[in-house]
Structure 1
């Protein structure tokens, strides 16, 4: 039986079919007296054609469309605000049925478009270098809200380009690097990936999707076995003392155990390598000794490094390492034979770069005044 979208079924009205898989929709079609393939047609209308109403689905029987209209909607997240960077990056403040909000970022390049999507509103992890970590976790996003970010991005891309270039300008890569820890929302991530992968709809393969995690070891193994996504690990230090200082989750999942999981992941996920993300923090984790210790730490791991210049946010407690220091750090890793790249910040002027996302959503206070 199909799994309902709990957050979509709010007091705003009928549940939205955004977040339902092709299997779910085939079952709905059968329940409404149709052949299963009518559910597949419905799926195509929703995810490939971005249809916003049932009436436009002209290859579906009218009585089926009427029944769908009576029971369901095609409501998707709304863009409350759009911010456009001087480098072309776009950040959308995305609003959901209950009024809560998350941020989604579209990063255009010459030959591709990368979409950075959120998995939670807020975060539990309180990483000290991350703006999202200053916002308490409000809740997980539903599968529909995760997929909904892709749908509205697809629509926005189509709206901001001319007809001649539409075939060249589609979402080519998705990174689960927005707000939240995706592996703490595993079931909804799994459901959304199933929908995003489906060739009858959005048709974005696992090879084009990267999940970033702070290192939730049991879920890393589960991700490899059940999803097989490209994996990026937020490492940020070669030693437990420093990593625990900036990433409290390291107390629960220390580096030694994390590296064991990283060695295993490519084998169980059918991926080639792990990406280690490393934010460059001045005088904290950027010394030559840190770089040399990283080389020792990842020995035997199929991996590459992305060095991320720290992207400042209001009242941030750190500064970015100097360009010279970052280049020297990179050279030590490259001279050891490791692939090591320096990530170019995108969307800095609109707080859309790595580690800069945050909204005003808060956990409701239900206590009554005395």
Structure 2
């Protein structure tokens, strides 16, 4: 069987074949895999379709489970591919049912993924990078330097591993627990565009993971040149981490604003492909006491987004060790929301989820720093899996 790729040889061992991860392969990759294995051309699409079914619809973790393939072919396939998930280092369960996973990747790097339940079903918040390059001052992830982009396989594998843990592969698609995906974890998704695109097209495929693009939301801090491509090539919902109504304040909170100021960002939003009242842009706005939470800010906000089909998510600031900000008082949040609502925009106040396990919005960080044990609720559960 032809070798797909090889490790660099060292002084003590001969070259040995390296198995490719099937997780993250799209259909074209799987056809190419079959060609590399010497499968006759007329059988490649059929074999690729079989592999796709077992990987993405059945969630197979063992090639030997692929019972519609011959034993001999399964043996060849087992030498060519791996179905390994990232290692679950810890799984923490909040008092509100939120689950936070710390995954170790093949190279030892760590990423965090969060499942947020809602009446038994829910949303999976996934990461696109190890660390982050944006240094947003209110975000814990921003205090961790960017290590590298995730591959498409590492992005998809977060969904696979969470489904493993939730035990939902044996459920019919309509009964599965993960109904939505949000790219709101570690990293800026548009700075890893190609891998995110590939991963989300795999996730959308109706014969596999089958999460509709209408149930996938990509959150960006405002990488303006790639916003049109996000709508045209990935087709998912767009969320903008806005958080301020003047360039002066946003430059402080979201330093990327110095490169792509508010006016340019909102122009890109107005031109977002497929934008309409039934498919609105979500503007995320973290409420920071005495920073961005005045009545004047609220009135300026609705003026800025005038004419854009939109909703505004008001996010109570979630504290993290050493953070320089405080959450706005509840009365101030309600007054802000009232101004936005009167202007005709839905402005739900996001209920903080998973605060006791540092899983809430803006709290993710995979570096070794962790909240002191005393900060954790005794009702939360931590499971060490490795």
TM-score in same-fold range (> 0.5): yes
Secondary structure of the 2:311 match is strand
Counterpart selection for 1:275 from 282, 290, 310: 282
Runs of 4+ more than 4 Å apart = 163-167, 268-271
Instruction: Tell me how far apart the structure 2 counterparts of residues 21 and 266 of structure 1 sit (CA, whole Å).
Output: 24
Instruction: Tell me how far apart the structure 1 counterparts of residues 228 and 75 of structure 2 sit (CA, whole Å).
Output: 44
Deviation at 1:164, TM superposition (A): 9.2
Counterpart selection for 1:174 from 176, 181, 185: 181
What does 1:1-370 align with in structure 2 at a 5 Å threshold? 13-31=18-36, 32-34=38-40, 35=43, 36-110=45-119, 112-158=121-167, 168-267=175-274, 272-360=279-367
Are the equivalent residues in 1 in contact too, given 2:120–2:177 (CA < 8 A)? no
- What are the superposed Cα offsets for residues 19-44 of structure 1, whole Å, 9 maximum, x if unpaired? 10122212322443151111111111
Between the two proteins, the alignment pairs up a number of residues equal to: 353
Question: CA 1:172 to 1:277, structure 2 compared with 1: closer, same or farther past 3 Å?
Answer: same
- What are the superposed Cα offsets for residues 313-332 of structure 1, whole Å, 9 maximum, x if unpaired? 00100000011000000000
Deviation at 1:64, TM superposition (A): 2.2
Instruction: Tell me how far apart the structure 2 counterparts of residues 173 and 191 of structure 1 sit (CA, whole Å).
Output: 17
Instruction: Tell me how far apart the structure 2 counterparts of residues 258 and 166 of structure 1 sit (CA, whole Å).
Output: 37
Instruction: Tell me how far apart the structure 2 counterparts of residues 137 and 251 of structure 1 sit (CA, whole Å).
Output: 19
Are the equivalent residues in 1 in contact too, given 2:188–2:221 (CA < 8 A)? yes
Secondary structure of the 2:29 match is helix
Are the equivalent residues in 1 in contact too, given 2:277–2:309 (CA < 8 A)? no
Secondary structure of the 1:124 match is coil
Instruction: Tell me how far apart the structure 1 counterparts of residues 277 and 334 of structure 2 sit (CA, whole Å).
Output: 32
Point out where structure 2 has 5 or more consecutive residues left out of the alignment: 7-15, 370-386
Instruction: Tell me how far apart the structure 2 counterparts of residues 5 and 260 of structure 1 sit (CA, whole Å).
Output: 45
Are the equivalent residues in 2 in contact too, given 1:157–1:169 (CA < 8 A)? no
The aligned counterpart of 1:366 is: none
Are the equivalent residues in 2 in contact too, given 1:12–1:97 (CA < 8 A)? no
Secondary structure of the 1:128 match is coil
Instruction: Tell me how far apart the structure 2 counterparts of residues 62 and 269 of structure 1 sit (CA, whole Å).
Output: 51
Are the equivalent residues in 1 in contact too, given 2:57–2:207 (CA < 8 A)? yes
Question: CA 1:186 to 1:361, structure 2 compared with 1: closer, same or farther past 3 Å?
Answer: farther
Secondary structure of the 1:286 match is coil
Deviation at 1:95, TM superposition (A): 0.7
The aligned counterpart of 2:380 is: none
Secondary structure of the 1:37 match is helix
Instruction: Tell me how far apart the structure 1 counterparts of residues 308 and 314 of structure 2 sit (CA, whole Å).
Output: 17
> What is the root-mean-square deviation in Å for CA atoms of aligned residues?
2.4
Secondary structure of the 1:278 match is strand
Are the equivalent residues in 1 in contact too, given 2:140–2:362 (CA < 8 A)? yes
Instruction: Tell me how far apart the structure 1 counterparts of residues 184 and 302 of structure 2 sit (CA, whole Å).
Output: 25
Instruction: Tell me how far apart the structure 2 counterparts of residues 226 and 249 of structure 1 sit (CA, whole Å).
Output: 23
Question: CA 1:167 to 1:264, structure 2 compared with 1: closer, same or farther past 3 Å?
Answer: closer
- What are the superposed Cα offsets for residues 234-278 of structure 1, whole Å, 9 maximum, x if unpaired? 000110000001111000000000110111115479972110000
Instruction: Tell me how far apart the structure 2 counterparts of residues 156 and 139 of structure 1 sit (CA, whole Å).
Output: 26
Instruction: Tell me how far apart the structure 2 counterparts of residues 258 and 320 of structure 1 sit (CA, whole Å).
Output: 26
Instruction: Tell me how far apart the structure 1 counterparts of residues 17 and 100 of structure 2 sit (CA, whole Å).
Output: 26
Instruction: Tell me how far apart the structure 2 counterparts of residues 12 and 186 of structure 1 sit (CA, whole Å).
Output: 30
Instruction: Tell me how far apart the structure 1 counterparts of residues 197 and 301 of structure 2 sit (CA, whole Å).
Output: 31
Question: CA 1:5 to 1:233, structure 2 compared with 1: closer, same or farther past 3 Å?
Answer: farther
Question: CA 1:274 to 1:99, structure 2 compared with 1: closer, same or farther past 3 Å?
Answer: same
